[in-house]
Amino acid sequence: MLDAIAGRRSVRAFLATPVPRKTVTRILNVAARAPSGTNIQPWQAVVLTGAARARFCDRLIAHVRAGGPAEQEYSYYPQRWRDPYLSRRRKVGWDLYASLGIGKGDRDATARQHLRNYAFFDAPVGMIFTMDRDMEIGSWLDLGMFLQNAMIAARAFGLDTCPQAAFARYPATIARLLDIAPDRQVIVGMALGHRDPDAPENGFATNREDAASFARFVEE
C-alpha cells in the first residue's frame, strides 16, 4: 500500500491499451470505501470509453479551440498567489514544459499541451466527477478522499491516472455534451490507463515537502 501511494504520479501521456470495464468498476467500487460524512457518499461519475470518449473529447476540444468562454463555477486556486505556493506552482510548470521541450513564452506549444487535457492525455478511459449542487464543503472533502482512493486502487492494476481540474473550466458545455442534470455540478475529471513509458513528460517526479516542514508535534 505504501508503495502504491508513493508511486502515484499524475501521468500526462498514455498508451492506447484498453482497460476492461470490469477493472474500472472494481476500481470505483474500492474507491467508494472512502469515508464520507454520515455515509452520504456524495460522488457521481461519468465513465467514458471507446467512441463515446472520442466523440466527447473532439466536441469539447472544438469548443475550446473556437474560443468558447470559460464557464468556471468554482475557484480551484487561490485568488492571490504567494510563496511558498507560487514557487511550487512555477517549478512543476517549468519542469513539465522543459521535459516537453517547450520554452518559456512559447504560447502556441503551451496551448497545444493544454488542449491535451481535454483528450484525457490519450488515456482510453476518461472520467468526469460530479456532485449534487446542494452539497456543502464537507462533501468536497469526501470527494477528494474518493478520488485519492481511485488513484491508489488503479496502481493495484498496474494503471496510472491524472486528476484534471481543467475540466472544471467548461462545466456547462460538459453537462450539455454528457446530458448531466442541472442539479449536478461538474467538479473534476480524471484520465485512467497505462502510462506511456517513452513519453518524456512521464519521466520526472514532483517534489514533496518532508513532514518536518508542515507538521507540528505536541507531545508534552
Q: Which CATH number belongs to the domain containing residue 199 in this structure?
A: 3.40.109.10
Which parts of 32-49 fold into alpha helices (H)?
A: none
Provide mean pLDDT across the span 190-197.
97
Provide mean pLDDT across the span 203-214.
92
State the pLDDT confidence band at 42, using cuts at 50, 70 and 90: very high
The verdict on residue 217 lying in a domain is no
The verdict on residue 213 lying in a domain is no
Check if the beta carbon of residue 59 is closer than 8 Å to that of residue 166: no
70, pLDDT greater than 90? no
Percent of the chain residues past pLDDT 90, beyond the cut:
83
Distances 25 to 22, 28, 122, 127, 179 between C-alpha atoms, Å: 5, 5, 20, 12, 21
97, pLDDT greater than 90? no
Q: pLDDT by residue (tens digit) across 139-178?
A: 999 999 999 999 999 999 999 999 999 999 999 999 999 9
The verdict on residue 97 lying in a domain is no
The verdict on residue 85 lying in a domain is no
The verdict on residue 212 lying in a domain is no
Q: What is the pLDDT of residue 213?
A: 95
The verdict on residue 65 lying in a domain is yes
Domain count, the chain: 1
State the pLDDT confidence band at 64, using cuts at 50, 70 and 90: very high
Q: What is the pLDDT of residue 214?
A: 96
Domain boundaries, position 60: 2-76+116-204
Q: What angle do CA 120, 78, 213 make, to 5 degrees?
A: 95
The verdict on residue 92 lying in a domain is no
Distances 42 to 57, 99, 132, 167, 212 between C-alpha atoms, Å: 26, 38, 7, 19, 34
pTM of the predicted protein model: 0.95
Task: Residue 122: name the closest of 192, 36, 179, 203 by CA.
Answer: 192
CA atoms within 13 A on the CB side of 215: 7
53, pLDDT greater than 90? yes
Q: What is the pLDDT of residue 137?
A: 97
State the pLDDT confidence band at 102, using cuts at 50, 70 and 90: confident
Provide mean pLDDT across the span 102-118.
89
1, pLDDT greater than 90? no
The verdict on residue 58 lying in a domain is yes
Q: What is the pLDDT of residue 220?
A: 85
Work out the mean pLDDT of the chain and round it to a whole number.
95
